[in-house]
Amino acid sequence: MTDDADQIRVASPVGRWVVLTTVLGSSMALLDSTVINVALPRIGQDLGTDLAALQWTVNAYMLTLAGLILLGGALGDRFGRRRVFVVGVVWFAVASLLCGIAPSAGVLVAARALQGVGGALLTPGSLAIIQASFHPDDRARAVGLWSGLGGVGAAVGPFLGGWLVDGPGWRWVFLLNLPLAAVCVPVALRHVPESRDPEAHGRFDVLGAALAALALALVTYALIEVPEQGASVMVIGGALGGVVLGAAFVTVERRRADPMVPPSVFASRQFTAVNIVTFCVYAALGGFFFLSAIQLQVVAGFSALGAGTALLPTTVLMLLFSASAGDLGRRIGPRIPLTAGPLVAATGMLLMLRVGPGASYPWDVLPAVLVLGLGMVTLVAPLTATVLAAVDTGRAGLASGINNAAARAAGLIAVAALPLLAGMGPEAYRDAGEFASTFRRAMPMCAGLLVAGSVIAWWAVRKSPEAEHEPEPRPACATHCGVSAPPLEPEPPPRHT
């Protein structure tokens, strides 16, 4: 790592290039998390799939991303964050090409899983590059810019996806990543400084990564398939297998000399609390965007472009105010933004209950989207900055990996579970009446998750505007994913999209 005097300032030319590169890379992953929702009804019609196949189209990506993102952070800390980031961008672009030419739903789902592998390499790297490259005084602002501009990419996704779906076709939703990668890779190689954790060595926790991914896969399978198969042997076996493998993952991480998730990290009450808040927030957002994109098209009668355009106010709010929200969170502390933001976003989700057949955009959709966007602006940048402030700079890959894994796993489980909990059948997305009734049951569930996150933040997150933690004493043989001596004091925490 470099001294503070050698680190980059946001206002410098190099600083702007670093922000641009990390935003481009992370936007590829964020775009595919949001663009796909607008394209789902057309994909279902074109490939002749049911709701379960559409859920897998979303969740295959989330599954590999959530299961491998911690390993991606470890690889970056060991071999160089820029190097692994560039590999992830190239991998993601190739997988996107496969998605764009997929002849069937099965091939599309498999290609989406490969996309998730690329996302697991580039996503933690983008945030870790910022944390390692910028001067401490500028990190909060850099994270705010990254969150805001990256959030813009995620929010523009539905609009752009709708335009592509109504125009050249849904396949271009994936092919769009190719020009982004063509710009990102050469800029990263030329302008982004390399960084790594000098103490990162030893073995990688491949067993832990495999157990986590398989546990998520089996639980997801059971949740998605139970509406059609009922309590079949496969569904029950999948659910039980997921629970057993999840318990095995916890056991392995506690006993390994070099675990993917060091148990000592969770000795901090605030680190643990903010990751729980992250899970609640991103479960709600994942379920909301998955269901709302379909609701606007199937029930309200919007075109794909109209459904995407409906979310543009969120984009504008993220663009204008995320950097300022990051600075505000640094000054007043994370507790207030992380308490108020989810409550505001929950109000926006409840306002979406007004969206039904023949809904008016200015009177029914716009108020909900504006309120939701205000809540996201309030919480996203402070959430991210608080997570990264929990650990020393050398463990930035670990912090962003754990927090991103929590966010992705939350979205994965929400997309799998909400249709089941709301009572959606396999063909619900083809029937406006059925989908509308289940949507009305699902939105209060999403809002309830946000309220739970707000309560946890108020109860457990510190008021201090800065993270106050002592660097963990680590033996020379410990890596960022190795066992560390327990922190002397409980320390503070990390973030998505």
> At how many degrees (to 10) do helices 335-351 and 312-332 cross?
160
User: How far is Cα 254 from Cα 213, in angstroms, rounded to an integer?
Assistant: 18
CB 468 within 8 A of CB 338: no
Reported confidence tier of residue 206, pLDDT bands at 50, 70, 90: confident
CB 485 within 8 A of CB 473: yes
User: How far is Cα 376 from Cα 353, in angstroms, rounded to an integer?
Assistant: 19
pLDDT beyond 80 at 110 = yes
At residue 207, the pLDDT reads 85
CB 137 within 8 A of CB 7: no
Helices within 48-170 (DSSP H only):
51-79, 81-100, 105-133, 136-166
User: How far is Cα 422 from Cα 206, in angstroms, rounded to an integer?
Assistant: 36
pTM, full prediction:
0.77
Reported confidence tier of residue 243, pLDDT bands at 50, 70, 90: very high
User: How far is Cα 284 from Cα 278, in angstroms, rounded to an integer?
Assistant: 10
Q: What is the mean pLDDT of residues 76-91?
A: 87
pLDDT beyond 90 at 442 = yes
At residue 367, the pLDDT reads 94
Tokens representing 483? 């066992």
CB neighbour class for 272 (10 Å; exposed up to 12, middle 13-18, buried from 19): middle
Question: Around 486, how many Cα atoms within 13 Å sit in the side-chain half-sphere?
Answer: 7
CA distances from 258 to 37, 315, 480 (A): 38, 41, 9
User: How far is Cα 484 from Cα 238, in angstroms, rounded to an integer?
Assistant: 34
Helix H or strand E encompassing 220: helix 206-229
At residue 194, the pLDDT reads 83
User: How far is Cα 16 from Cα 469, in angstroms, rounded to an integer?
Assistant: 29
In sequence order, the β-bridge partners of residue 8 are 134
Q: Tokens 């933004």: give the residue.
A: 337
Question: Around 65, how many Cα atoms within 13 Å sit in the side-chain half-sphere?
Answer: 35
